[in-house]
Structure 1
């Protein structure tokens, strides 16, 4: 079936959707790139600043043909799903979809531009690269509200990490990048069985392959290559939850992925609370709790090792321990999280309206970011992502590095003032 027909089918339900005209957008600067696309800072005709995510259309076409029978490998479905959920959001901590872009060479969409970069960059600016308990409490509470909204909409996020949490101009957070998210049948996440008498059963050893796509902590794990499960599973227990239908996709980011995802026994909304626990641990200690020398060791630690909560008992360390419960049936739920002692002083109804969050980004000199050379979005994305004859997308690291250097030469503000400067060629915003 012709791809154009699929595009019409994907967007048929959105007759009132704003379609962007690339010729009417002023492309100010590239902001970064991910595994699937490049993000640009653009200005609309009315002067509004937006983040435009552009994806090479040919890579979607080729992957779609190669994986037409696989839900998890279907890049086109992922892009459609991401656009659909963005269009459905009405929450101050989630992005608003400002328009869809479709040309012969690229597809994409525009969302809110966050001038404060991401939480990982902000943490690294702190003394000893850690946040205080009070700052962690504010950011953690906002993340709980964002995840609760998603879960109530039937969406499990599955890729919570500091690089996917942006700081808005007003200092409040914004959760971005939903291409690894999925929708689960709408049963309440709170109906999870927590019986202490039900013991997880030990699965017999067997060889089972899982696919993953991996580029350090900045990239998502999704089906592509394969890894053997048997050695990871040998001394581990798996649990079953009957609260919701589960997803069996092997997705996430290496240091944040939940044990139930690695074991392949299915996962539900509770996997997001595991990821929140990893994030809070990193905010408190400056490192993730299960990082090993390589991927295999990291996964082994996630499945078998308890987090090292060094220091005296505090409500925060207690919460982290409950979030990092390996059995998803016993992991703390959103109702219990909101009622936890660590959040005792939080006013959940007004926190997103707090006028003075812990960090307010400085105003960005957008005019100074504009170089002398006009950026051709289509050519730029094509240079960054080459599509080989067999349909495999090659990340053109040399090209993207050269482009970043070109931007640095244009103005020193790319390094000094750019809120989302590319620190390495694996930097992700989405």
Structure 2
């Protein structure tokens, strides 16, 4: 944009500043000093991320180590470098940095079958006209693609690179691949109402979603939301997208689908995907899109200026690739409009600058001649020339690309070890996937194993937590190995006070709490409360089979943020979810009594769950204050609990206020880590101190929850917790949509695979463990008690959900 005089006038200093900034950002990628660096591996012959070899995790760097979305990633660098080279021909280090761009192009779009270092057209299918994004790992459903716009972006960058380097053959090949790709996208992926290839129930979605060889799945790999399914087809925001996204299609997609999406209807500016949708929607209603973009949260990597610039220059009549169209003629028809603090213009033509939207011929002219080349000519490794001959490409090795060197020396033997490393990693991944297939095969041989409610076997994967009474294990159901569970194992030896069935049943307080926890968990069903699937007793332990939440707990999440503080919009989401869970419990007479960050878990989508109901108490009425047990976690217990004169459901509301305060500040409101007596005195006597940046509404909300007078505490009045839900702090919350999980969590756990336990403490997950746990229906109410059964003391503890819940 800084190069467009129609936007910045004669301000050359701005362009110089922008170029310097962008060059500094991209140089570490091109000279390979950015961590993790790129390396050349010889199993599939390509440039990949070294992160996979350092960590052993296949999907590090978005799976680039296994060629997943491989060319998508490199397309960003190729396109950006082409633009920089055009705008700054004096880029002093460019000759050295160009080596990496040529290697990326050669890695992805090498047309020669004679190149021993790179395969021919690694991703692109000339028959299908597009590139699949799936890498080299096995997948039950085969190859797939979900982000067509990133596919197009690579070949757009290749075309630009050929243009700015003067390599006509490269430009022509890139242009040909670009046009074939755009045609395939318009035909198979972006579905106008007149599409006859897909059935009507697919066409009405307007996009296919995940596209396989033999089917489509209206979804994404990362988020099951309409705006994500469509938005992934729009990134990066680039003028070339309009080559595939015709005005007719955009209008149908917007009117039939996107305009009805909740984030569009409610103008939910907190969802970053909305910014991408609005740029696209400018084709339909430019003025409306521009005004909404002013306050929208920007997608990662998208600046507001670039979003406005692209929205303001959307082409209403389709992308015209007429060679006679010039930037000058476009500028002549500018309709200037000053909007806010940003100047934007509606262009009569697509071209907004002398380069950002380049001319591409409707057909590759003289393509055949330019691609033939001299079959005897082999460029040297020094000039980075690429003849682009179908029969001959440079047969020199790719340069050594290591973190310590940016030179163009040839590959050494040390670089070749990545072949064996990748083989080992892929074999491990194959084992992980085939284990499920083998176990599923066993289940198919004995179908009753999946349906039989009398016996379930849980194979232990690893430890994910441990405490004074027991251990939490990640387990998979042997009959349905794709089902993961968290199994809390509480050892009887830690409970104490348990006698045999033939004696007095003097169970300890801890044992009674476990029985209450089991009773509560098997009676509640709420989206923000941990679900229990079964509980069972073994000779040595009591076991709770629970919903597995791979996002870890809130305490672990806080440690990832500066000063252990979450942004207020994050806290708003989590606080609203907790409020709904507490309301559900209190309406059923259940007091939680242990609300703290460690007991708030996050599922794979970023929604929370309340966990650990060991301190819960049943049959409580809002007006009752007859509990006197001193229990809970010290930093979060209410003053009436400290006093010991009786308490009720309102104690949970105090804990709620403490948790919200901690999520915002990093500390509980009466924090005193070394002096427990001082802590209790503060809880009874001191008022919370709110930081100066807290808004009056937030202060009022927290003051209400942290009111020492139970009768004045927010949520404990005649309207109960409805007063909390109606508080202005939650003004932006749509309670119905939140409880239905129709909103987007502020954070989604970054998981590389289903067995990723990186959100749990390594001191637990690093421990080696194996074995299995077995739930088997038994009857201790009569008959002869076996020697093994003589160690069972809780005949009412065993419980199991319906078999369908395990599938």
Scaled by the length of structure 2, the TM-score of the pair is 0.36
Aligned partner of 1:133 in structure 2 is: 568
Give 1:267-282 correspondences, 5 Å limit.
267-282=647-662
Q: Where do 1:390-405 residues align within 5 Å?
A: none
Rounded to whole Å, the distance in 1 between the matches of 2:767 and 2:662 is 40
SS in 1 for 2:628: coil
Counterpart Cα distance in 2 of 1:86 and 1:346: 27
> Which residue number corresponds to residue 260 of structure 1?
640
CA distance in 1, matches of 2:653, 2:452: 33
Q: Cα offset for 1:339?
A: 1.0
1:41 aligns with 2:466: no
Task: Select 1:332's aligned residue among 705, 714, 732.
Answer: 714
Contact 1:184 1:245 in 2 (8 A): no
Q: Secondary structure at the match of 2:646?
A: coil
1:235 corresponding residue in structure 2? none
CA contact (8 A) 2:599 2:612 kept: yes
Aligned counterpart in structure 2 of residue 180 of structure 1, from 615, 618, 625: 615
Say yes or no: does 1:318 pair with 2:713.
no
* Residue 250 (structure 1) shift: 0.3
Alpha-carbon distance change, 271 to 17 in structure 1, aligned in 2, over 3 angstroms = farther
Contact residue 166 and residue 176 of structure 1 kept, 8 A? yes
Cα distance between partner residues in 2 of 1:268 and 1:373: 43
Cα distance in structure 1, aligned partners of 2:594 and 2:749:
25
The alpha carbon displacement at 1:246 in A equals 2.0
Mapping for residues 283-298 of structure 1, pairs under 5 Å: 283-292=663-672, 293-298=674-679
Distance 1:50 1:349, change over 3 A: same
Q: When you count helix as a share of all residues, which structure comes out higher?
A: 2
1:277 offset after TM fit, Å? 0.6
Please list the CA deviations of residues 128-165 of structure 1 after superposition, one character each: whole Å capped at 9, or x if unmatched: 32112211111000000000101111110011000100
The one of the two structures with greater contact order (alpha-carbon pairs below 8 A, sep at least 6) is 1
State the Cα distance separating 1:347 from its structure 2 match.
1.0
**Aligned partners of 2:497 and 2:506 also within 8 Å:** no
Q: CA deviation at 1:101?
A: 2.7
Q: Is the contact made by 2:737 and 2:743 (CA closer than 8 Å) also made in structure 1?
A: no
Which residue is equivalent to 1:341?
A: 728
- Among 144, 150, 158, the alignment partner of 2:585 is 150
How far residue 258 of structure 1 moved from its aligned partner, in angstroms, is 0.8
Q: Which segment is superposed worse, 140-149 or 130-139?
A: 130-139
CA distance in 2, matches of 1:69, 1:105: 17
3-state SS, counterpart of residue 316 of structure 1: helix
SS at match of 1:319: helix
Q: Which residue of 2 aligns with 1:171?
A: 606
- 1:300 matched to 2:695? The reply is no
C-alpha contact 1:259 1:326 (8 A) present in aligned 2 = yes
Distance 1:248 1:43, change over 3 A: same
Aligned-residue offset at 1:69: 10
1:209 — aligned with what?
Answer: none
**Equivalent residues of 1:54, 1:108 under 8 A apart:** yes
Q: Give the drift of 1:19.
A: 6.3
What SS class does the counterpart of residue 84 from structure 1 fall into? Answer: helix
Contact 1:184-1:244 within 8 A present in 2 as well: no
Deviation, 1:127, is 3.1
Q: Partner of 1:49: helix, strand, or coil? A: strand
Q: Which residue of structure 1 lines up, in the alignment, with residue 297 of structure 2?
A: none
Instruction: Give, in angstroms, the shift of residue 64 of structure 1.
Output: 3.9
Alignment counterpart, residue 248 of structure 1, candidates 628, 646, 658 = 628
CA drift of 1:76 comes to 2.1
Q: 2:690 aligns with which of 309, 329, 334?
A: 309
Instruction: Tell whether the 8 Å contact from 1:41 to 1:51 is kept in structure 2 after alignment.
Output: yes
Q: Distance in 1 between matches of 2:510 and 2:742?
A: 38
Say which of 562, 584, 594 aligns to 1:159: 594
User: Unmatched 5+ residue regions in structure 1?
Assistant: 1-15, 190-242, 379-430
- The C-alpha deviation readout for 1:5-36, integer Å capped at 9, x for no partner, is xxxxxxxxxxx995665xx2210111111232
- What are the equivalent positions in structure 2 for 1:338-417 lying under 5 Å apart? 338-352=725-739, 353-366=741-754, 374-376=769-771
Q: What SS class does the counterpart of residue 350 from structure 1 fall into?
A: helix
Q: 1:78 pairs with 493, 498, 513, which one? A: 513
> Does the 8 A contact of 1:20 with 1:101 survive in 2?
no
CA contact (8 A) 1:17 1:100 kept: no
1:225-257 per-residue CA deviation (whole Å, 9 max, x = no partner) reads xxxxxxxxxxxxxxxxxx125211100101111
Please show how residues 93-132 of structure 1 align to structure 2 within 5 Å. Answer: 93-132=528-567
More divergent stretch after superposition (118-127 vs 46-55): 118-127
- Quote how far apart the aligned CAs of 1:169 are: 1.0
- Please give the alpha-carbon distance, in whole angstroms, between the structure 2 residues aligned to 1:122 and 1:367: 19
State the SS of the aligned residue for 2:642.
helix
- In the alignment, which residue of structure 2 is the partner of 1:59? 494
The match for 1:409 is none
Separation (CA, whole Å) in 2 of partners of 1:17 and 1:347: 41
Q: For the Cα contact (< 8 Å) 2:550–2:756, is it kept in 1? A: no
Gapped regions of structure 2 (runs ≥ 5)? 1-450, 716-720, 758-764, 774-807
Q: Secondary structure at the match of 1:346?
A: coil
